[in-house]
Amino acid sequence: MTIAIIGGGAAGFFLAINLKRLAPNIDVTIFEKSAKVLTKVSISGGGRCNLTNSFAEIKTLNRAYPRGDKLLKRAFRLFDHRDTYKWFEDAGVPLVTQDDQCVFPYSQDSNQIIVTFIKLARELGISVKTLHRLTSITSGERYTLTFNADTRCTFDAVAITTGGSPKAEGLSYLEALGHKIILPVPSLFTFNIPSDSIRELMGVVAENAMVSLEGTNLKASGSLLITHWGMSGPVILKLSSYGARLISEKQYRFNILVSWINEVNCDKIAEYINSIVRENPQKKVVNVCPYNISSRLWLHILKKAEIPTDRKWVDLGKRGINKIINLLSNDQYTVHDKGSFKDEFVTCGGVSLESIEFNTMESKSCPNLYFAGEILDIDAITGGFNLQAAWTTAYVAAVAISQRFNAI
């Protein structure tokens, strides 16, 4: 029995390795279109490979997975983050869980994951062919694959693990086979705010901010980083993930509301600000930063509120205090575009989960055609969740394929 795995990334290698372990007699070949395999793994987590998360702070899966949580809830019964942790440690990759619950190799080097995968693939007899771009796939009693428009091969089964496609045209061959395609759009991107003085605060971090998409119920909390182009950091990436589809429909021009202190209850903030006035009546407003926010950010807020920095707290008056309360909790900014990067790291969209059997990752329309990883309409917030989805879907597919062909 032979199987072709299209895509030499995280999901492709994980599927291949687990399949060969479960069914050693199956002939497994990985086809990768570029000259190198596992390139996305090499840059994951800033080159450290954030390969999963402890899930300790995730109360419901849809908070980590805006799309695909229902499929993963079922798939995690077979292989979840705890299984991932054990799998890599058993493979000789010690792991460490950070305070933010992100899990990395103890070496803090993504290359260790790559070396481990390539070593295991070699030991298991998995063939890896680079510079093989799939140009057509024909279903029948067996699958006929054409690479680079001239090389044809036939296989008993095929697994598509090509990752997210930035354009729907890249998935047209799967649509032709009867699969519903959800239009791919970027996810996990930063916000471009070109015309605002906020950019003068480049490098300032608000450790506990809340950002919401104006006019919607979408919001996220976390650390916010001000950059020379606008805003970044976990809270922005999280919000971009939650609102990926809606933000795309708005053509990446929309308003956000920032609570620099992760609090929107004006009465609570007023009580706190009034306590500052009582305790520091003669001090200049510039010298007392509420909620321990950055002094540079506090200056920006005072400037936006048109409050002179040498004004005393006692002289603010109700109007001045209300301006401060509003800007601390409900500071509006207009986003003009997403951050400009050559390639989006994660996409929202892909093969619709309506086209997939959840228990096996097999196509509903094409027997012996399987999917794993970001090719599916599954994506997550930052923090190791996207790679966990790749490991889980790949493992489920490997088990299903091994059971199918071991039974023959």
Which of 296, 312, 343 is a domain's end point? Answer: 343
In this structure, are 117 and 211 located in the same domain?
no
Which of 343, 361, 390 is a domain's end point? Answer: 343
Amino acid at the residue 390: A
In this structure, are 78 and 180 located in the same domain?
yes
**CB atoms < 10 A from the CB of 198, how many?**
19
In this structure, are 265 and 382 located in the same domain?
no
Q: Are 226 and 192 in contact (CB under 8 A)?
A: no
Q: What is the pLDDT of residue 344?
A: 46
Q: What is the pLDDT of residue 341?
A: 59
**Helices (H) and strands (E) in the chain — how many of each?**
12, 22
Q: Are 368 and 403 in contact (CB under 8 A)?
A: no
3-state DSSP helix/strand/coil % of the chain, to nearest 5: 40, 25, 40
Low-confidence stretches of the chain (pLDDT beneath 70): 341-345, 407-408
Domain region containing 275: 189-343
In this structure, are 121 and 134 located in the same domain?
yes
In this structure, are 288 and 352 located in the same domain?
no
In this structure, are 351 and 213 located in the same domain?
no
Which of 295, 323, 343 is a domain's end point? Answer: 343
In this structure, are 43 and 101 located in the same domain?
yes
In this structure, are 334 and 370 located in the same domain?
no
In this structure, are 232 and 366 located in the same domain?
no
**Sign (positive or negative) of CA dihedral 368, 373, 376, 378:** positive
In this structure, are 16 and 118 located in the same domain?
yes
Query: Could you give phi then psi for residue 291, rounded to 5 degrees?
Result: 60, 20
Q: What is the pLDDT of residue 343?
A: 44
**Sign (positive or negative) of CA dihedral 249, 252, 258, 263:** positive
In this structure, are 85 and 161 located in the same domain?
yes
The CATH number linked to 63 is: 3.50.50.60
Which tens digit of pLDDT belongs to each residue from 329-353? Answer: 999 999 999 987 544 468 899 999 9
In this structure, are 235 and 105 located in the same domain?
no
The H-or-E segment that residue 268 falls in is helix 266-279
Q: What is the pLDDT of residue 166?
A: 73
Q: How many domains does the chain have?
A: 2
Q: What is the pLDDT of residue 382?
A: 93
